[in-house]
Amino acid sequence: MSNSLQGKKVLYVAPRFFGYEKEIEVELVRRGAEVDFVLDRPFDTPLMKAITKVRRDWIISSAERYYSAELNSLGNKEYDLVFVISGQTLSATTLACWRAASPAAKFILYMWDSFANRRSAVDNLHFFDHCFSFDKNDSVKYGLNFRPLFFSPGFEVAQQVDPKFDISFVGTAHTDRYAVVSAVRQELGNKVNSFWYLFLQAKWVFWIYKIINPVFRKAKISDFNFLSLSKSAVQEIFSSSKAILDIEHPLQTGLTMRTLEALGSKKKLITTNSDVSGYDFFSPENICVIDRGFPEIPAYFLSGSYVDVSPEIYQKYRLEGWMSEILDIAG
């Protein structure tokens, strides 16, 4: 399969994730593909998302019926390419049916979450011709192609503006993120202008976390926001910031989307992910790695200027570069 998808019929499956799923679809279409999009994890409420994550077996029969109905509504076509992002609710039964229906198709899986958070996905690897992961450790452990994430076009900044904020954070308040953000705020004190947006899906999620998550014991409901920001709003915050705070999931070693968005925006990055030092865009002038429990941010880091990466590296991490590498390897 070449980089061009002209005239190819593509079944594209991905979770809804802040519009990134749509941007990938647009890139597939730009390359000439005829794309049918089917939502992975077809249950959108916070409660159903939580159940899907912790008790996938409870919803898998419903998911199988959903996928069967979706493909039936699309005319049960024979596809040239089946492109799956994560595939959290894809069962062996569903994938076997798709294989039988499109025997000549290439099946590609891209994991943008670690298997530590998506253990069921390991059982599906054998259904795919080419498997990719954003997580270097998972790639080695399971023999997958390693390919980091990307930044989308909206994060590319043609012209830098004077920042309003020295540092900003926008993200979901899962696991220990509230504690890390609190520690960073304490470390920086009133020395900087900052913007913090800790998101939770619903107020009941906050009260559950107050019970089950020790780091929330002293948290106030006013510390959180319950409306997700649009991607354009996040892009505007990035554009107005000198540095971006990134906090990866404790069970994750792959780089977050935020890391690549900071690269795309040409902003400094303060991150808890020490693995970033092994990537080709790393430089100490642009990236400061901090300890999750005891963050220290040198004053010179925020006062110094951003140093541009090479055009080749910048292109590699654009959405276009991400798609090209996947299609090149798939052959």
Over residues 66-79, mean pLDDT: 94
Cα R_g (the chain), whole angstroms: 20
CATH topology of domain 153-308: Rossmann fold (3.40.50)
User: What is the mean predicted confidence (pLDDT) over 49-73?
Assistant: 76
Range of weakest confidence among 12-21, 93-102, 157-166, 188-197 = 157-166
Average pLDDT (161-169) is: 92
Residue 16: predicted pLDDT = 86
pLDDT for 97 beyond 70: yes
pLDDT of residue 50: 58
The percent of residues in the chain predicted with pLDDT above 70, rounded, is 93
CATH H-level, domain 9-147: superfamily = Glycogen Phosphorylase B; (3.40.50.2000)
User: Whole-prediction pTM value?
Assistant: 0.88
Structure confidence at residue 47 (pLDDT): 58
Residue 56 pLDDT: 59
Mean pLDDT of 162-184: 94
Nearest CA to 170 among 186, 161, 181?
181
| Percent of the chain scoring above 90 in pLDDT | 77
Q: Answer whether 9-147 and 153-308 agree in fold.
A: yes
pLDDT at residue 10 in the model: 98
Distance from the first to the final alpha carbon of the chain: 5
Q: How high is the mean pLDDT of the chain?
A: 91
d(CA 183, CA 171): 16
pLDDT digit string (tens) for 218-240?
Answer: 999 999 999 999 988 999 999 99
How far is the C-alpha of 213 from the C-alpha of 203, rounded, in Å? 15
Q: 220: helix, coil or strand? A: coil
3-state helix, strand, coil in the chain (%, to 5): 45, 20, 40
Domain ranges for the chain: 9-147, 153-308
By the 8 A CB rule, do 325 and 312 touch? no
The pLDDT of residue 239: 92
Whether 54 has a pLDDT exceeding 60, the answer reads: no
Number of H helices, E strands in the chain: 12, 11
Residue 88 clears pLDDT 90, i.e. is over it: no
Q: How far is CA 178 from the centre of its chain?
A: 19
Q: Is the pLDDT of residue 89 over 90?
A: no
Q: What is the pLDDT averaged over residues 189-194?
A: 90
pLDDT at 35: 98
Per-residue pLDDT, 253: 85
Find the range with the poorest average confidence among 54-58, 183-187, 267-271. Answer: 54-58
- Over residues 294-300, mean pLDDT: 93
Other CB atoms within 10 A of residue 204 CB:
11
pLDDT level of residue 61 (50, 70, 90 thresholds): confident
pLDDT tens-digit profile of 3-47? Answer: 789 999 999 999 988 889 999 999 999 999 999 999 987 666 565
What does the pLDDT look like over 101-160, one tens digit per residue?
A: 999 999 999 999 888 877 778 999 999 999 999 999 999 999 999 999 999 998 987 667
pLDDT at 48 over 60: no
